Amino acid sequence: MIENFGIGIDIINVSRFQKQPYEKKSSFYRKLFSPSEIKYCLKFKDPYQRFAGKFALKEAVKKSIKEPITFLEIETYHKNSKPCIRLTDKYHKKYRLLCSISHDSGIALGIVISEKIN
């Protein structure tokens, strides 16, 4: 029973993204984030806090499901102001995910609880 569940957590300093401005390093961001994730982050005054949070959440997914999955196979979005995760076809029928993101004092944290359903 418990082997069907996983937990992943990741914490990252927002400055790691601030040191790589999107305007100069867009190819770096396109390797990690979908076009809709990039668009979402860039609409904020400080997009790097959002990028860091989404990155931490993706890392937490990778730790939680313990399968080889790429950053672009994990998409984060918001529904009713709450963070959500969408996995690509290969994984979306295999897992249910709960997640949360937090930001404070230049730090972003992502946590994921997964349940393997297949």
Contact 69, 35 (CB under 8 A): no
Report residue 50 as tokens: 């959002």
pLDDT, residue 57, reads: 98
H helix intervals, 43-118: 47-65, 89-92
pLDDT digits over 45-73, tens only?
A: 999 999 999 999 999 999 999 889 999 99
Q: Domain boundaries in the chain? A: 2-116
CATH of domain 2-116: 3.90.470.20
What is the structure's pLDDT at 118?
A: 67
Spell out, as residue ranges, where the chain has pLDDT lower than 50. none
- Residue corresponding to tokens 């992502």: 110
Report CA-CA distances (Å) from 83 to 11, 100, 109: 16, 6, 12
